[in-house]
Amino acid sequence: MRLAWRNLIQERTRLALSVVGVALAILLILLLQGFLRGMFQQIAAYLEHSPGSVVVAQDGVVNLLGATSLLPQGAAEDVAAVEGVSSVVPILSQFVILDFHGKKQPAYLVGYDPAIGGGPWDMVEGSEPVADDEVVVDRVLAQRHDLGLGDRFQIMDREFTIVGLSQGTTSWMTSFLFIRKTAAEGLVRVPGATSFLLVSPEAGEDAQSLRLRLSGITGTQSLLKTEMIANDSKLFGKLFSAPIRLMAGIAFLVGTLVVGLVIYTATVERRREYGVLKAVGAPNRVLFGVVTLQALVASAAGSLGGVALAAGAASVIMRLRPQFLIILEPSAVGGAIAAGVGMALLAALLPARIVANLPPAEVFRR
Amino acid sequence: MLRLAIRNLFQSRARLVITAGGVALSLLLILTLDAIFQGVERQVSAYIDQSGADVFVAQQGVRNMHMASSSLPAAALGQVEAVPGVGSVTPILYVTNVVSIGDSRNVAYVIGLPDGAQAGGPARTVAGRGLPRPGEAIIDRSIALKAGVGLGDEVKILGRAFTVAGLTTGMVNLVSSVAFISMEDFRQARAGSDAVSFLLVRARDGVPPADLAARIEDQVGGVTAQTTAEFAAGERRVIRDMSTDLLAIMNLVGMLIGLAVMALTTYTASLGRRAEYGVLKALGARNADLRLTVVFQAMLSVALGFTAGLALTFLLAALVPLTGANLLLLVKSDSLVKVGVISLVIAGASAVLPVVQIGRLDPAQVFRGGLGR
């Protein structure tokens, strides 16, 4: 133990550089996972805060954000007539691409009736739209594009005035915009069109049984809100999980190499000392232990540093770029530390081989 | 001195592999992320690029197809056809929806095509028909293969049942594909409105698409007309504008990792050679020469890492499609230039510590035995 510690701290700059290397690799892994987790929370925000526990969509559509839904005419009335339904909130939603001073900004447009609900849940300034040329935009989106109350901008072929700012309605990919449902119908040129119905069950009515009762309505598909959130997460997870896993894998390899280099160099430099230890009877497992311990200490320090760096970096990124939400979950931190241990064990393999192959007698020949 | 740098570098193969490997992996992080977004950009405009149209006409203010909606009145078709220089006009209907095959649901751009469409149909049909008849759908081969269906099987689109009449390729991306049905079926499924989403215009021979697009916007009210190249560039810009900040953050982390690896390896290598540098100093070598040796060594390591990183990225780009993921990795020259510049920064910065150390080296100490190990 003392030998491992002495070997490790003898060259402090080298140790510090290796700890920084591992910390940066762990930082990258944690940031990537934090982005993904934050993105899942951001894309679920609308459904989590909107009324109802069952969502009625066009037949075949199981996502809020993945596909455009258009319900058959009369679907809202059919749903309202089903036993156990307390309220039905219709929305007309659609992705739009806004052009702000030459930048393309995707936004998810929600057309709703302010008297019924389905709009922004946390207004920080202004009011909800009362006319068909009024819009509520996310505060972060407004800040990013220097917009404020009273400013006008174009959505498709119409001009809208910002009358309110909402919060908790943005992500790095897209932001929510809220206009009156009649305004949205005018934009897509389909009068009376509805994308989704947000259905609340009566008191004492189970959402799952209501969903089953709603499933008989032709041309529609009913899902629990939780199912739809899971489907959206799955869809976006499909988009991002492969690249993120790839990047995290590369970061893991880099961390392993960094620890490996330090332990390898320290072992090669101390080859004679290990030889002496072998010559005086130290078994290979003791020497393996010394090498592995050095790797574990270096990577543990790097992992802890990486967790601290990730927390600091996440807070800086979210302050400078508030559209990013980075959530560092305890499970991800645990995973990162486990990755650090994995790096150490892998990194110790090569030095352990050197020690194992060391002929003790050679020490005395030099 | 350059020979000394090369000798230092190649003396310990394991150290060289770790150095070049570490730098290669750090650069791979940057190159891969760039390649993924470049691939997504290419995939996202695949339908437009292969549409065969010269000009896309959309609802006024609509400059994108992906994540967008456009609705033009039926009368716009005749008005655009009447514009001088227009060869043909193909109206299409478009919505992002779902192709349901059994229990699997696949997000797809659903395109409604008229009879005898001259543009906007599938560019590469690998089986069956290229244009759908009523009741038929043409879907992407990779979606069909994954779900285990083929020609003659049934799929559900817009909540209706269709028979697969053709299989296409080359228009799929990580999350969605393109499916074609007849305009008649599309209209029936979407409440029977006679509006169309886009008009795909072919110019007469010799008419420049940019001139034609400007003429259409002048002569037809309530539309936005863009050349196919502009329209596709707009699609790619959505991805680029969306990912700029994310790429910047990840590039910075990748660069810092590369820097840490290089600084560590250059420092370790110089540390091991401290006694030799001391001897050289004692023999009259100037600090500048020794520093040049270290910098050259760092440059050489980074060059090796850069080459290995590039090779790894190309290898990854070749292997990823074999896994069945519709992920395209595209390495472009601007990405290579960026990574080249980052490599130079890494090499230069990593040499700082050893350079300072060499400057402080006392040659006399060599003879006192204070530097050797």
Do residues B166 and B253 both lie within one domain?
A: no
Report angle CA A177, A181, A186 to the nearest 5 degrees. Answer: 100
* C-alpha radius of gyration, chain A, whole number: 29
Q: How many residues does chain B have?
A: 373
Alpha carbon distance A305, B1 (integer Å): 38
Cβ–Cβ under 8 Å, residues B282 and B368: no
Kindly state the tokens that stand for A134: 């009024």
CB contacts < 8 A, A to B, total 195
Where residue A129 falls (left for φ over 0; alpha for ψ -120 to 50; beta otherwise) is beta
Predicted confidence (pLDDT) per residue in A153-178, tens digit = 999 989 999 999 999 998 877 899 99
CA B11 to chain centre: 39
Report angle CA A295, A363, A357 to the nearest 5 degrees. Answer: 50
B67: chain A residues, CB-CB within 8 Å: 95-97, 106, 174
Report angle CA B105, A192, A236 to the nearest 5 degrees. Answer: 30
Instruction: Answer yes or no: do A104 and B242 touch at CB < 8 A.
Output: yes
B10 occurs within a structural domain: yes
* Å between A117 CA and nearest CA of chain B: 24
> Residue B366 has what pLDDT?
60
Alpha carbon distance B65, B62 (integer Å): 8
Predicted confidence (pLDDT) per residue in A292-338, tens digit = 887 788 888 888 998 999 999 999 989 988 888 899 988 888 888 88
Q: Does B69 touch chain A (CB under 8 A)?
A: yes
Query: Pick from B221, B253, B268: which residue ends a domain?
Result: B221
> Residue B113 has what pLDDT?
96
Pairing status of strand B104-113 against strand B177-182: parallel
pLDDT at A82 over 60: yes
| Segments of chain B scoring below 50 in pLDDT | 371-373
B350: chain A residues, CB-CB within 8 Å: none
Cβ–Cβ under 8 Å, residues B21 and A271: no
Q: Does B305 touch chain A (CB under 8 A)?
A: no
For residue B275, what are the contacts with CB-CB under 8 A and spacing of at least 6?
A: B366, B371, B372, B373
> Residue B371 has what pLDDT?
47
Q: Does B360 touch chain A (CB under 8 A)?
A: no
Alpha carbon distance A17, A26 (integer Å): 14
Query: Would you call B87 helix, strand, or coil by DSSP?
Result: strand
Number of domains observed in the structure of chain B: 2
B120 occurs within a structural domain: yes
Q: How many CA atoms lie within 13 A of A303 on its CB side?
A: 21
Alpha carbon distance B142, B101 (integer Å): 13
Q: How far apart are the first and last CA of chain B?
A: 22
Kindly state the tokens that stand for A224: 């629990």
- Residues of chain A with pLDDT > 90, as a percent, come to 41
Q: Does B322 touch chain A (CB under 8 A)?
A: no
Q: Does B62 touch chain A (CB under 8 A)?
A: yes
Q: How many CB atoms lie within 10 A of CB A85?
A: 20
Nearest to A242 among B98, B107, B327 (CB): B327
Nearest to A235 among B107, B250, B257 (CB): B107
Instruction: Answer yes or no: do A60 and B29 touch at CB < 8 A.
Output: no
Instruction: Answer yes or no: do A58 and B158 touch at CB < 8 A.
Output: yes
Q: How far are the Cα atoms of A40, A342, B39 from residue A310, in angstroms, in the given order?
A: 19, 19, 28
Do residues B173 and B248 both lie within one domain?
A: no
For residue B195, what are the contacts with CB-CB under 8 A and spacing of at least 6?
A: A189, A190, B71, B72, B73, B74
Interface of B with A in 215-244 (CB under 8 A): 222, 234, 237-238, 241-242
> Residue B373 has what pLDDT?
41
A201 residue type, one letter: P
Nearest CA in chain A to B239: A104
> Residue A158 has what pLDDT?
93
Do residues B215 and B295 both lie within one domain?
A: no
B63: chain A residues, CB-CB within 8 Å: 97, 99
Q: Does B267 touch chain A (CB under 8 A)?
A: yes
Nearest CA in chain B to A237: B175
Closest CA to A120 of A137, A108, A105, A106: A137
> Residue B372 has what pLDDT?
44
DSSP result, A247-296: HHHHHHHHHHHHHHHHHHHHHHHTHHHHHHHHHTT--HHHHHHHHHHHHH
Closest CA to A341 of A286, A266, A259: A259
* Å between B130 CA and nearest CA of chain A: 25
B191: chain A residues, CB-CB within 8 Å: 70, 72-73, 190, 193
Do residues B343 and B305 both lie within one domain?
A: yes
Kindly state the tokens that stand for A215: 């499933």
Do residues B65 and B214 both lie within one domain?
A: yes
Burial of A299 (0-12, 13-18, 19+ CB in 10 A): buried
Q: How far apart are the first and last CA of chain A?
A: 27
DSSP lists the bridge partners of residue B223 as B59
Cβ–Cβ under 8 Å, residues B240 and B66: no
A14: chain B residues, CB-CB within 8 Å: 264, 267-268, 271
Longest dimension (CA), chain B: 96
Nearest CA in chain B to A322: B245
Q: How confident is the model at residue A23 (pLDDT cuts 50, 70, 90)?
A: confident
Mean pLDDT of A187-207: 91
Instruction: Answer yes or no: do A28 and B193 touch at CB < 8 A.
Output: no
| Buried-exposed string B15-43: b where 16+ CB fall within 10 A, e elsewhere | bbbbbbbbbbbbbbbbbbbbbbbbbbbbb
Nearest to A154 among B61, B68, B193 (CB): B61
Closest CA to A264 of A276, A256, A252: A256
CA A14 to chain centre: 34
A70: chain B residues, CB-CB within 8 Å: 95, 190-191
Mean pLDDT of A140-147: 92
B33: chain A residues, CB-CB within 8 Å: 243, 247
DSSP lists the bridge partners of residue A222 as A56
Domain boundaries, chain A: 2-42+235-365, 72-218
> Residue A365 has what pLDDT?
58
* Å between A204 CA and nearest CA of chain B: 32
Alpha carbon distance B216, B199 (integer Å): 11
Instruction: Answer yes or no: do A96 and B242 touch at CB < 8 A.
Output: no
Confidence (pTM): 0.80
Instruction: Answer yes or no: do B68 and A190 touch at CB < 8 A.
Output: no
Cβ–Cβ under 8 Å, residues A52 and A198: yes
DSSP result, A153-219: EEETTEEEEEEEEESS-B-SS-EEEEEEHHHHHHHHT-TT--SEEEEEEPTT--HHHHHHHHTTSTT
Predicted confidence (pLDDT) per residue in A212-271, tens digit = 999 889 889 999 999 999 988 887 777 677 677 777 777 777 777 777 777 777 677 777
Nearest CA in chain B to A67: B97
DSSP lists the bridge partners of residue B165 as none
Instruction: Answer yes or no: do A254 and B175 touch at CB < 8 A.
Output: no
Closest CA to B139 of B125, B118, B120: B125
DSSP result, A323-338: T------HHHHHHHHH
Instruction: Answer yes or no: do A258 and B260 touch at CB < 8 A.
Output: yes
Do residues B31 and B135 both lie within one domain?
A: no
> Residue A185 has what pLDDT?
94
Q: How far are the Cα atoms of A184, A340, B92, B223 from residue B190, in angstroms, in the given order?
A: 16, 54, 13, 22
For residue A287, what are the contacts with CB-CB under 8 A and spacing of at least 6?
A: A274, A277, A278, A352, A355, A356
Interface of B with A in 109-128 (CB under 8 A): none
Q: Does B178 touch chain A (CB under 8 A)?
A: no
Predicted confidence (pLDDT) per residue in A32-74, tens digit = 888 888 888 888 999 999 999 999 998 888 888 878 888 988 9
A156: chain B residues, CB-CB within 8 Å: 59-62, 69-70
Residue with tokens 């901008």: A153
Pairing status of strand B136-140 against strand B160-168: parallel
- Residues of chain A with pLDDT > 70, as a percent, come to 94
Picking from A140, A233, A256, A265 by the largest number of B CB atoms within 10 A of its own CB, the best residue to mutate is A265
Alpha carbon distance A222, A57 (integer Å): 6
Q: How many residues does chain A have?
A: 366
Alpha carbon distance B371, B373 (integer Å): 7
A60: chain B residues, CB-CB within 8 Å: 97-98, 100, 105, 156-159
The secondary structure element, H or E, covering residue B318 is: helix B287-319
B87 occurs within a structural domain: yes
B268: chain A residues, CB-CB within 8 Å: 14, 261-262, 265
For residue A12, what are the contacts with CB-CB under 8 A and spacing of at least 6?
A: none
* Å between A311 CA and nearest CA of chain B: 14
Interface of B with A in 158-177 (CB under 8 A): 158-159, 174-175
* Å between B206 CA and nearest CA of chain A: 31
Alpha carbon distance B263, B251 (integer Å): 18
> Residue A278 has what pLDDT?
79
Kindly state the tokens that stand for A130: 């009362």
Closest CA to B204 of B368, B85, B312, B27: B85
Q: Which domain holds residue B10?
A: 2-44+243-368
B313 occurs within a structural domain: yes
Kindly state the tokens that stand for A361: 């007698």
Where residue A88 falls (left for φ over 0; alpha for ψ -120 to 50; beta otherwise) is beta
Instruction: Answer yes or no: do A63 and B175 touch at CB < 8 A.
Output: no
Do residues B82 and B206 both lie within one domain?
A: yes
Query: Would you call B302 helix, strand, or coil by DSSP?
Result: helix
Instruction: Answer yes or no: do A264 and B260 touch at CB < 8 A.
Output: no
